[in-house]
Chains A and B, each alone.
Chain A
Amino acid sequence: MATYAEMQQIYDDIRGDFRYDSELNGCLNCGICTATCPAAHFYDYSPREIVQLLWTENVEQIYDAMQEKIWACAQCMTCAARCPFKNSPGGLVAIMREVAIKHEMQSAKDVLRPFGRVMLKLITTGNQLSPDMIQPDHFPDWGPNIQKVEGDLSVLRKAIPVKTLQTVETAWEVSLKTSVEMYTIWEMTGVMKSLELMDENLFDVIEDFIDEKREEYEEWLEEQEDED
């Protein structure tokens, strides 16, 4: 259990985030966010409660909500689309999650541990999506009715052009240059730092992988120069 000073510090870090003021204007306590929230129907999670705790600066309950509740949010942002005050409860949850990681909260580690494999996969092989990858066969959770709304895709795409259709051929393989650029972005935006705080072993594995890729890229660049 954290001390009050620690909980206050956690709140101050949330409050101090540059996005905070644009995500939280006040609250009419109307509950449309919770009513429309898919997670609230299945978990002990209420976006209105999160907003209310933050707005009333209830640092103990905020800390409590960060143990488990905030991790139920699916970040679909329907709450933000509905809120008559134009708050973004989902945006606030995003900030709270980042602060939970920054403070190395055990709850965050517990929640994120199962995603270690996914993280490794994403960072080492990428997560490209092209239109033809979205096939009902791959997404059983879409349910049986999806077949009814599916038509002849090649015909539909002529009627409604998909802007990223040219990626169908290329998206399966990530270019070395893109990967290396992504690593730099992750380092500069603090993703790698967060990863280190949450799972040091995983971080080491990924760090080694990144070093390897960078070396590969340097070699490739040198080869290009030699050819010139």
Chain B
Amino acid sequence: MQDTVLIVGAGPAGLSAASTVTASGYKAVVVEKEEILGGAPIISGYAKLVPSGEWAKDAIGRMVSRVEEDSGVTIHKGAKVESLDGEVGSFTAKLSNGETVTAGAIVLATGFTHFDSINKPEWGFGTFEDVLTTTQMEQMVSTGKIACPSDGRVPERVAILLCVGSRDRQIGREWCSKICCTVSANLAMEIKEISPETDVFIYYMDIRTFGLYEDKFYWKSQEEFKTKFVKARIAEVTASPDGRLLVKGEDTLVKRPIIIPFDIVVHAIGMDPNEDNPEIAKVFGIGLEKHGFIERAEHYTNTCGTTRRGIYSCGAAYGPETIDDSISQGAAAASRAVADLNALVQKAS
């Protein structure tokens, strides 16, 4: 149908794209592989979002209900696109639920996959109960209580390790995941707010609280919440006989190796390309860039485009991205898709 845009993925980018399409007077069909809408912030149970400070379930929840209440949007949950025929103006997609969707243009808002910390065994995830990921820690923050999973005690010291699954050639991940520095500074403040007796240390290689996040997160976490930043990449996490975690690193500014006891160690996990990307690339006939994210068309004149005409992408599908920018890019990609539909209408008349 020349009045429909197919949107794959219903995270912040996809939800934004769907609303932009209907606001432009066209119809949107949203295909989401999970049974619920909202993407990573909802499925992984993020706590308060950067930079608004609003709870994810409220902020992204509002985007979900806007789409669910939109009569111009058809939603397929628990479904994937299995095959695609046609070209710009007349795509036909077959879905795993047996349905067929015809659309003039497509927006892939297929996002990312959280790095699996099991791939860095030296940092103790999966070995020690009190080693968690940022998403698990956010879930703990959402419960309103900070406690060690092993025995429920209130932690005296929490370590957040940055760049877990990012900036690491040893495991083939050479990109910066962009958001983890700010998310970790935010998390440190949330932990301190709930549990004032807990001290939070952040271990970093570089701090990248870019743009307006510098004072609102990096400075504030130090000035108001006494978060300690240590320039060190941790070599390994082990356990002491009394059940605490031992974090071994070099304080590179003091220049000596250190071993420090902690009660909870949090991995600030990075953003991997969506694990389905090889399949997505095959089904939609598009390219992937060298890290495995979706490849852009011409960078400046077709920045929302993929390598196939009529198929656009946005957000973390293109590489690590913030929620705010994913929302903007979703709207931008939808505009390009709508422009394709407009061109068809003009051609017909």
A residues at B contact (CB < 8 Å)? 28-37, 40-41, 46, 48-49, 81-86
Per the bound structure, the CA–CA distance linking A82 and B295 in Å amounts to: 30
Give the interface size bracket for B toward A.
Answer: 20 to 34
What is the interface of chain B, defined by CB distance below 8 A to chain A? Answer: 122, 163, 167-170, 205-206, 231-236, 248-252, 255, 257-258
Contact status A31-B169, CB under 8 Å:
no
Are B170 and A35 in touch, CB under 8 angstroms?
Answer: no
Q: For residue A34, give the distance in angstroms from its CB to the closest CB of chain B.
A: 4
**A35–B169 touching, CB < 8 Å:** no
Q: Count how many pairs of residues, one from A and one from B, have CB atoms less than 8 Å apart in the complex.
A: 67
List residues of chain A with CB within 8 A of the CB of B236: 36
In addition to A31-B249, A84-B169, 4 A-B residue pairs with Cβ atoms within 8 Å of each other are: A28-B167, A33-B250, A83-B169, A86-B170
For B232, the chain A residues whose CB sits under 8 A away are 30-32, 35
Bound Cα distance from A48 to B251, whole angstroms: 11
Q: Tell which of A28, A32, A81 touches B250, judged by Cβ atoms closer than 8 Å.
A: A32
Q: Which of B231, B234, B235, B236 has the most CB of A within 10 A?
A: B235
Which residues of B sit under 8 angstroms from A34, Cβ to Cβ?
250, 252, 257
Is the Cβ of A40 less than 8 Å from the Cβ of B250? yes
Q: Is the CB of A36 within 8 A of B252?
A: no
Q: Are A28 and B206 in contact (CB under 8 A)?
A: yes
Q: Do the beta carbons of A84 and B233 come within 8 Å of each other?
A: yes
Report the separation of the CA atoms of residues A85 and B206 in the bound assembly, to the nearest whole angstrom.
14
Closest chain A residue, CB of each to CB of B236 = A36
Given A82-B235, A84-B233, decide whether A31 and B170 contact each other with a Cβ distance below 8 A.
Answer: no
A35 and B250 in contact (CB under 8 A), knowing A84-B163, A84-B170, A86-B170? yes
Contact B234 A35 (CB under 8 A): yes
- Residues from chain B with a CB closer than 8 A to the CB of A31 are 231-233, 249-252
**Closest-CB distance, A219 to chain B (whole angstroms):** 54
In the complex, what residues of B have CB within 8 A of residue A83's CB?
169-170
* A83–B170 alpha-carbon span in the complex (Å): 7
CB-based contact A82/B248 at 8 Å: no
The 8 closest A-B pairs by CB, nearest first: A30-B233, A31-B250, A35-B235, A36-B235, A31-B252, A34-B250, A32-B233, A84-B168
